[in-house]
A and B are shown apart, each in its own frame.
Chain A
Amino acid sequence: MIDIDDVVEGSEPAFLGSATVDQLAAMVLTLGMELSVLAARVAELEGRDPATDSQSASSLLDRLFANLRPSSGHARPLVAERLDLAVRP
């Protein structure tokens, strides 16, 4: 079982190698969110349907995820190489 002290007193956990990398990645995702708001506004102004627009939240996230995920970037690339894991499209 999880030690409750870890939950109560622990600082925000770091997943991507260091707390700084996590913070940067979190900032990018937050920026992505604000970008998606702007993109939806622009789509509406230009009379396009924001839900099917190529700038919609899902496609924006697809691109963010593809660029942020560790196996294409900073964390543990050697494991990925050893496993010969094909990067999914």
Chain B
Amino acid sequence: MARIALDTLGDDDRRRIDYLTAMRRLWSTEVFGRLRDEFDTLAAREGAPTTLEEAGELVERCPSYAWFGFLERGAQVLKWRVVNDVVARNWETLGEDLRPPHLARAELDPELELPGWYRDHDIHCQPGGVWGAAPSALVYEIGTQVLHIGRNRGLELHRRFTATFPGETYRRIVDMGSGFGKSTRPFKERYAEADVIGIEFSGPCVRLAATRADDDGLEITFRQGDAAATGLPDGTVDVVTGTMVLHEMPPDVLRATFAEAARILTPGGIVRFLEFSRTGDLFRDAVMEDHAWRQNEPFMPGLMEFDVVRELSAVGLAGARWVPFDERTGELLPEGFPERAEWHLPWAVLEAHKPALAASTTPPAPAEGAA
């Protein structure tokens, strides 16, 4: 198992990160719980909301909401400050993680022009984004280990998602928006014979992804490029996947990305993205809507409103649907999201397939829960 940057930190930095993790845990349990109680009290008094807008108005009136919002944003901003400091102070050692890879490939494209919708805001409030400077990828890597309330330190979440794929073997798998390869490596681990390719806008992320894959002995190609224009030949890919990438795209880019997926897939090939969807719990969904704003995720609500059946069938992908995913167990939950007391990201898999015959809409074998 590759070492991760977090392992190289000194004691005091580790304590700061412990503090941030504790802050996030309190926020997601106690503060969220109090907010839910207030919301329920108001709803019982004034009538339960029936639309997302009504729920949003009600949640705004809860006394703890300002505090909840402040803490969500504040923890995120403080996190990046701590992590930026850590990487800047340890750059001499950490910078070695961007060395040229041996086994994996990092295909950089210095000519690539990043679009304005990607450049113009600091996604997740990370100063300079995940692409702005050489250390950005390392800052991002450490940041993810704090963000998900301590449950996303290694590859566990991504491995659980990979375990839900229905095929025993695949020839080629493309991971769109591969970041530093956290979502890509589990595919090469499970499908060792497959040609696994990560497509990623950020050059620093492509380099770090190749190093991390190298450290794990995984031969993966990471290519700097656009998910909506991969440059791969028509009909040559069995699986198009992506984790937490679609919600970063505006609607026209989403359409172009699905059209690209349909183009490169072989007939019978599948599309499966791990993302976030509405849960049907109006309180939770209203809080999530504002989470997008608080975290500088301007396109997240757009993905949740995206008419996946209509949009994906328009580009030739059939059987589109959201399937809730329990990130703790790796279980797919076609019945819907279970009740949970704490705040959590509403993980869900967006799946579809390219029909084997032009007229067929029979889905491939349904994906069952992970082992």
A interface residues (Cβ-Cβ under 8 A, vs B): 1-4, 6-8, 12-13, 15-17, 22, 25-26, 29-30, 32-33, 36-37, 40-41, 50, 56-58, 60-62, 65, 68-71, 75-77, 79-80, 83, 85, 88
Docked-complex contact A26 and B78, CB < 8 angstroms: yes
Is B368 an interface residue, CB under 8 A from the partner?
no
Would you give 28 A-B contacts (Cβ < 8 Å), ordered by A? A4-B117, A4-B250, A4-B298, A7-B121, A8-B120, A13-B73, A13-B294, A15-B69, A17-B66, A25-B70, A26-B74, A26-B78, A33-B19, A33-B82, A36-B16, A36-B18, A37-B16, A57-B18, A57-B22, A60-B19, A61-B19, A61-B26, A65-B26, A68-B67, A69-B67, A71-B67, A80-B63, A85-B37
Which of B18, B20, B31, B69 gathers most chain A CB within 10 Å?
A: B18
Docked-complex contact A30 and B38, CB < 8 angstroms: no
- Across the two chains, which residue of chain A brings its CB closest to B82? A33
B-side interface size class? 35 or more
Among candidates B16, B23, B66, residue contacting A70 with C-beta atoms closer than 8 Å: B66
- Give the secondary structure class of B's interface: helix
- Give the secondary structure class of A's interface: helix
Docked-complex contact B63 and A76, CB < 8 angstroms: yes
Least CB distance, A75 to chain B, in whole angstroms = 5
Docked-complex contact B70 and A40, CB < 8 angstroms: no
CA distance A40 to B22 in the complex (A): 14
Is B90 an interface residue, CB under 8 A from the partner?
no
Docked-complex contact B25 and A33, CB < 8 angstroms: no
Docked-complex contact A2 and B301, CB < 8 angstroms: yes
Docked-complex contact B64 and A83, CB < 8 angstroms: no
CA distance A43 to B340 in the complex (A): 36
Known: A6-B293, A57-B18, A83-B42. A29 touches B66 (CB 8 A): no
B293 / chain A contacts, CB cutoff of 8 Å: 2, 6-7, 13
Docked-complex contact B16 and A33, CB < 8 angstroms: yes
B26 / chain A contacts, CB cutoff of 8 Å: 58, 61-62, 65
CA distance A22 to B41 in the complex (A): 27
Docked-complex contact B31 and A16, CB < 8 angstroms: no
Is B305 an interface residue, CB under 8 A from the partner?
yes
CA distance A33 to B146 in the complex (A): 15
Among candidates B19, B66, B300, residue contacting A16 with C-beta atoms closer than 8 Å: B66
Docked-complex contact A79 and B78, CB < 8 angstroms: no
Docked-complex contact B296 and A58, CB < 8 angstroms: no
Is B61 an interface residue, CB under 8 A from the partner?
yes
